[in-house]
C-alpha cells in the first residue's frame, strides 16, 4: 500500500500499457516496478446443529394445536398513541398469531 505524496490519499493500481503503476485520484502516478499478488479469502463455514428461538416463552394457549406455551414479542405496528401489538409463536406447531389488546 502506498500513499500519494501530494494529497496523502491511497494510491490504487492502474494498467499503463503492459505494466501496472500506482495512480492517485489527484493525477499523481508512481511508475516504479510494481507487482501485485492476488489474495483469496478462505471461506469459513459454520455448521448449524440446532436452531433455537431466542425469545421468551410464556403461558399462552395456541389457537391451532392448544399447546400451552408460546414464544412472545411485541412491536409498535400502529400509531404511537395506540398500544403495541403482541405476537405469539407456538412452541410446538410454530403457528404465529397476534393480540391487539
| DSSP 8-state symbol, 43 | P
Return the pLDDT at 49.
67
Residue 52 lies in a domain: no
In a domain, 45, yes or no: no
Owning domain of residue 26: 1-35
Q: What is the CATH number of the domain that holds 73?
A: 2.20.25.10
- Residue 61's pLDDT is 93
DSSP secondary structure string for all residues of 50-86 = -----S-EEE---TTT--SEEEEEEE--S-TTSPPEE
Is residue 44 situated within a structural domain? Answer: no
30 lies in a domain?
A: yes
pTM: 0.46
pLDDT beneath 70, residues of the chain = 1, 32-44, 48-53, 101
Active site residue 50: no
What local confidence, expressed as pLDDT, does residue 68 receive?
95
> Which of 38, 51, 59, 81 is labelled catalytic?
81
Known catalytic residue at 81:
yes
* Catalytic residue (choose from 61, 82, 84, 99): 82
How many independent structural domains does the chain possess? 2
Amino acid at each position: 500500500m502506498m500513499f500519494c505524496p501530494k494529497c496523502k490519499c491511497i494510491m490504487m493500481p492502474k494498467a499503463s500499457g503492459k505494466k501496472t503503476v500506482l495512480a492517485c485520484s489527484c493525477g499523481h502516478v508512481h511508475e516504479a516496478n510494481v507487482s501485485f499478488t492476488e489474495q483469496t479469502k478462505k471461506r469459513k463455514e459454520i455448521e448449524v446443529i440446532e436452531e433455537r428461538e431466542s425469545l421468551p416463552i410464556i403461558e399462552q394457549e395456541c389457537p391451532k394445536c392448544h399447546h400451552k406455551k408460546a414464544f412472545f414479542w411485541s412491536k409498535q405496528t400502529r400509531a404511537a398513541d395506540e398500544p403495541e401489538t403482541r405476537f405469539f409463536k407456538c412452541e410446538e406447531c410454530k403457528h404465529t398469531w397476534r393480540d391487539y389488546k
